[in-house]
Amino acid sequence: MTSSGKNQCFVYFGTYTGAKSQGIYVSRFDLATGQLGAPELAAATKNPSFVAIHPNHRFLYAVGEFSSGDGKKGGVVSAFAIDPASGKLTLLNQQPAGAGGAPCYVSVDKAGEHALAANYGGGSVVVLAINKDGSLGETAAFVQHTGSSVNPKRQAGPHAHAINLDAANRFAFVPDLGLDKVMIYRYGPKGALTPNDPAFATVAPGSGPRHIAFHPNGRFAYVINEIACTMTAFSYDAKRGELRELQTLSTLPAGESVLPSYSTAEVLVHPSGKFVYGSNRGHDTIVIFAADPKSGKLTLLGHESTQGKIPRCFGIDPTGAYLLAANMDTHNVAVFRIDFQTGRLTPTGQSIEVGAPVCVQFLRIQ
């Protein structure tokens, strides 16, 4: 690469391990040229389906998405040290993710003091202390969800799918696919989770909320619903931790029905706040919405093929110029250029091979 280090990022890919993947992979991405380098194995670990980076850029945390099947032992959350030169990872330690297993999401609070994980299989969330050396400490909080919703195959019990904090680090939000609710907790200084008032926001029955993303202005949030293939826009009261529904739109083209093979995955707001993107699995597209900065409401702009099959997560680089789509079933990550004026995506023609990629996280090289 010809650009300086300041114009480069490490890009980490979480995967499902198997014949084509051994764990977490890392590539270099040139912000000036949009060139994505060949992936290298950063750390061998089982099913690191989601990863998160510490705010000090020195540590990375990954879930190990698996379950023992006995209902008692679950997956793990792993802590890694990041080599600043190569991007390779060194395991620091692991902690249990909680009863029921299958942790599918991890995030780190703004102060870098706790890692928060959601257990899809167990329908629960856990908060783990982060030690000064980056390793994971004891459990600071554990909350078990209960209940069900209208889809007997997908919603017979709770399925916590993500956990994210607002910009002020005051409230935690957990989209629960099994409950058709976004659970809301007050987040304490020692990692405590206390039910908020209001304790949740609802989506239409059978929607299956999966991920949530906040607008940069802090006034709006967007929830992508896996089962119904919809996007719900909410207004956000940062003082009360309250979400109020503004609208719900299909993530599919006008008039297109949700097929049994269809579902959604990731939602991200562009750094400019002008656009919201979501991934359609089965339809194999990224949906593009314009976001009104005053009302928070969305307008459908269009769709772009992900150049592969079953797009899970995708990532937008720190400058907002490029989007990387992870296609799980075709084992590739495709690069797209983002038009700052229209939000449209244009394939750059680049695609790298990564086994069963399901998560994309950027880390700017210092």
Contact status, residue 335 vs residue 37, Cβ threshold 8 Å: no
Matching residue, tokens 């983002």: 338
Q: Which of residues 146 and 72 earns the better pLDDT score?
A: 146
Three-class SS of residue 190?
Answer: coil
Exposure of 258 in the CB half-sphere (CA atoms within 13 A): 16
pLDDT at 68: 56
Spatial distance between the Cα atoms of 293 and 219, rounded to a whole number of angstroms: 9
Residue type, 306: T
Spatial distance between the Cα atoms of 265 and 313, rounded to a whole number of angstroms: 6
Contact status, residue 94 vs residue 76, Cβ threshold 8 Å: yes
pLDDT in tens, 39-58: 999 999 999 999 999 999 99
Contacts of 315 (CB under 8 A, 6+ apart): 11, 268, 323, 324, 326, 360, 361, 362
pLDDT at 189: 86
pLDDT at 84: 97
Which DSSP state fits 269? E
* Residue 50 burial (CB count, 10 A): 24
Can you tell me the mean pLDDT for 245-270? 97
pLDDT in tens, 5-33: 579 999 999 999 999 999 999 999 999 99
pLDDT in tens, 186-200: 999 899 999 999 999
Q: Are strands 103-108 and 114-119 parallel, antiparallel or unpaired?
A: antiparallel
Of 174, 204, 172, nearest in space to 187 by CA: 172
Q: Which two tokens stand for residue 124?
A: 């629960």
pLDDT at 1: 36
Residue type, 267: V
In terms of phi and psi (left: phi > 0; alpha: psi -120 to 50; beta: otherwise), the region of 226 is alpha
pLDDT in tens, 202-240: 999 999 999 999 999 999 999 999 999 999 999 999 999
7 backbone dihedrals φ, ψ, rounded to 5°: -100, 15
pLDDT at 2: 42
Spatial distance between the Cα atoms of 255 and 278, rounded to a whole number of angstroms: 18
> Is the confidence at residue 99, as pLDDT, over 80?
no
Contact status, residue 301 vs residue 289, Cβ threshold 8 Å: yes
Quote the mean pLDDT of the chain: 95
DSSP 61-113: EEEE----SSSS---EEEEEEEPTTT--EEEEEEEE--TT--EEEEEE-TTSS
pLDDT in tens, 259-277: 999 999 999 999 999 999 9
Q: Are strands 59-64 and 51-53 parallel, antiparallel or unpaired?
A: antiparallel
> Is the confidence at residue 101, as pLDDT, over 90?
no
The alpha-carbon radius of gyration of the chain (Å, integer) is: 19
pLDDT at 63: 97
Spatial distance between the Cα atoms of 149 and 126, rounded to a whole number of angstroms: 23
Spatial distance between the Cα atoms of 275 and 257, rounded to a whole number of angstroms: 24
pLDDT at 73: 58
Can you tell me the mean pLDDT for 337-365? 97
Spatial distance between the Cα atoms of 166 and 168, rounded to a whole number of angstroms: 6
Give the model's confidence band at 67: pLDDT under 50 very low, under 70 low, under 90 confident, else very high. Answer: low
pLDDT in tens, 287-299: 999 999 999 999 9
What is the H or E stretch that residue 195 is in?
strand 193-202
Can you tell me the mean pLDDT for 350-365? 97
6 backbone dihedrals φ, ψ, rounded to 5°: -65, -20
